[in-house]
Amino acid sequence: MNTQAWRLPLLWLCALLLAAPLAVGLLLLLADGVAQDNLRLLLAQPGLWHSLGLSLWIASASTLGALLFTALLLAQGDGSRWMGLLLRLLSPLLALPHVAFAIGFAFLLAPSGWLLRLLSSPLGFASVPPDWQTLKDPAGLGLILALILKETPFLLLMALSALDPAKVARQQWIGVSMGFSLPQIWWRLLLPALWPALRLPLYAVAAYGIAVVDLAQLLGPDAPAPLAVRLWLWYQDADLHWRGASASGALLLLASGLLLLAGLRLLEWGHLGLGRRHWLDGRRAAPACLARRLVGGGAMGLLAINLLVLASLLLWSLTRRWPFPELWPSQWSGHHWLVLLPTLSPLLWQSLLLAIASAGISLLLVVLSLEAQQNRRPWPLWLVCLPLLLPQASLLFGLRLGADWLGAWWQGSWLQGSWLQGSGIGWGWVLWSQLLFVAPYVYLCLHGAYRQFDPRIVQAAQLLGASPWRAWWRVKAPLLARPLLFAFGVGAAVSLAQYLPTLLFGAGRVVTITTEAVAIGSGLNRRLAGLYGLLQLLLPLCIYALALWLPARINPALRHNS
N- to C-terminal Cα distance for the chain? 30
255-283 pLDDT per residue, tens? 999 999 999 999 999 888 877 776 666 67
* pLDDT the model gives residue 280: 65
Nearest to 384 by CA among 370, 371, 400, 394: 370
* pLDDT the model gives residue 391: 87
Q: Which helix (H) or strand (E) holds 144?
A: helix 141-162
* pLDDT the model gives residue 133: 80
Distances (CA, A) of 218 to 85, 116, 520: 30, 19, 10
* pLDDT the model gives residue 175: 77
* pLDDT the model gives residue 2: 44
Which residues lie below 8 Å from residue 541, measured CB to CB, with a gap of 6+? 95
* pLDDT the model gives residue 409: 57
* pLDDT the model gives residue 105: 92
401-453 pLDDT per residue, tens? 877 777 665 554 444 444 445 445 678 888 988 998 999 999 888 888 888 78
Question: Residue 548 burial (CB < 10 Å; 0-12/13-18/19+)?
Answer: middle
* pLDDT the model gives residue 414: 43
Residues of the chain with pLDDT under 70: 1-8, 10-11, 121, 123-126, 278-282, 284-288, 407-425, 555-562
* pLDDT the model gives residue 462: 81
209-219 pLDDT per residue, tens? 999 998 999 89
Question: Can you tell me the distance from the alpha carbon of 187 to that of 183, in angstroms, rounded to the nearest whole number?
Answer: 6
